[in-house]
Structure 1
């Protein structure tokens, strides 16, 4: 984070920008914020250009709300749609699960942590930058090393098939963590020495099957159906004797934690307006994304402390009084538009 050399005088601040993103229903632009808060457009622009927030700043916001020991760490990425962007930095073409095709946008990679008490928050993130010459797997390994150095001590790691390469699996294993990663249907395993078979061709019981994953080692294989598709997951446990006790219910609990990151992706887009910005250069884009993620953390804090029950419901109720006041004032003097009752006449 930027270290100011003198007391700040800017009227636009991070809490102001976060609150704006969490409450503006449509146009979360610098111009709109300046109109709402009666500040200059340049003040908002300077805020986005001046600050230098880092992933560790997000971790510092999240860590005071979490039990850092014994939870589940999840890795996944999401594409932030920017189909009409022109000359905008960090924009590229990425696969979108929403559109089921490659689209134009930014790629946000997140480490999302669920603690033993069930509280879930993002603890690290990256925005894919082609200029850095890294892959998503490189970013994942960088972020994993960082959160462990910062004091996070998860028991399990989960991720989708994009992150289940052998190097990633071995790295997680070397950190003495268990894991559950999705694997592609053609991934090869062995059920008896000297023979290899694709996971899609196996008859897998509900409680899983012990197999040898090629180039890795002993794991337990599970199959589940989601959105009319068969999906396969490999589970590794640091203690070999624990496999027999790891059943379908344990897998389902881990799988449910794994899918919480999808809810996070929806909320940062629908409630925190992470996709809605019109700045073009790298620094303001990254500051906008940080503010949206930080806004998500504080929305979750409000849920943890039962100030709100649901972020979507909370946002919906923000405008109830305003809409009701407008409707009531609009109705005045227009009674003639209502149906007029006339008594029937017998002829």
Structure 2
């Protein structure tokens, strides 16, 4: 690892030592915007949508890939990309496909399922995952057009579909608008809470339970946990350096620190919040007992 150029490969080389590999594992993709709303001259900063802010902010986009062992509930960051289309011409979808291919061809990771949110539920990406022999579970946007009538009726928005009692429990076979007819899909209506309903599409035709689909999609929350931890505990947003290389190194160092903290917390049977608080608490006690810098009396 060169101090001047820390890469996602360095993160992978560290994380791979402790990953609990499993054939039924999941890859989870999502992006996070590092808030730089008050910056004026920081490279890589651009206006983009932030889920936390529920609107456009100035920030640096980071597209992440987690490996989740669904049997143990443990998760690891295995890859990440900076969203900088002016620099490399790549969209967030390009980054996700690149990381997926990297996990398959180079890392040779054992996994069965890919989980993404509705923004990534594009025809090209879902086709790519299906052709690679993997399952995907993606919530669809409410206006996404589907056909559940085997061609007897026109396509309609997924939110307007009618559901029988059996379909509520077991899902229904559908065809997405302009989607290849040779790829069979199932759709599930998942009630998340009283204010939210997800329409989840999958190419896993063995899936026959809305409850199990809900449980599978809940695994996607692991990446939200990761985003929260790395912002709140590691300060990944805090760097004010102007140069792109410095920003990338800060992001990489924060991710490397997260990997170290998670493994230490796991060994101590605690979490990274308690681990960091304990370190700071012990340091503060030590300083109060014997200050490193002593103030001269007035």
Q: What TM-score do the two structures reach when normalised by structure 2?
A: 0.86
CA distance in 2, matches of 1:163, 1:292: 26
Are positions 1:97 and 2:51 aligned together? yes
Aligned to 2:247: 285
Aligned to 1:56: 9
Equivalent residue pairs, number: 276
Q: 1:177 is matched with which residue: 120, 126, 134?
A: 134
**Partner SS, residue 30 of structure 2:** strand
Aligned to 2:279: 318
Aligned to 1:235: 202
Aligned to 1:14: none
Deviations 1:257-286 (A, max 9, x none): 111100000000000110011211111111
Range 205-214 or range 129-138, more displaced: 205-214
Deviations 1:205-238 (A, max 9, x none): 143222222333422212233582222211221x
Aligned to 2:102: 146
Aligned to 1:166: 123
**Partner SS, residue 126 of structure 1:** strand
Are positions 1:212 and 2:175 aligned together? yes
Aligned to 1:37: none
Range 288-297 or range 144-153, more displaced: 144-153
- The 5-angstrom pairing of residues 184-223 of structure 1 reads 184-194=141-151, 195=153, 196-204=155-163, 205-216=168-179, 217-222=183-188, 223=190
Deviations 1:285-331 (A, max 9, x none): 111111111111112212332x14111122222333455577899xx
Which of the two has higher C-alpha Rg?
1
Q: What TM-score do the two structures reach when normalised by structure 1?
A: 0.74
Unpaired segments ≥5 residues, structure 1: 3-46, 330-347
Unpaired segments ≥5 residues, structure 2: 291-298
Are positions 1:84 and 2:38 aligned together? yes
Range 214-223 or range 113-122, more displaced: 214-223
Is the CA contact 2:33–2:50 (under 8 Å) kept in the aligned structure 1? yes
What value does the CA root-mean-square deviation take over the aligned residues?
A: 2.1
CA distance in 2, matches of 1:262, 1:300: 15
Is the CA contact 1:74–1:112 (under 8 Å) kept in the aligned structure 2? yes
Is the CA contact 1:119–1:304 (under 8 Å) kept in the aligned structure 2? no
CA distance in 2, matches of 1:109, 1:72: 16
Displacement of 1:200: 0.4
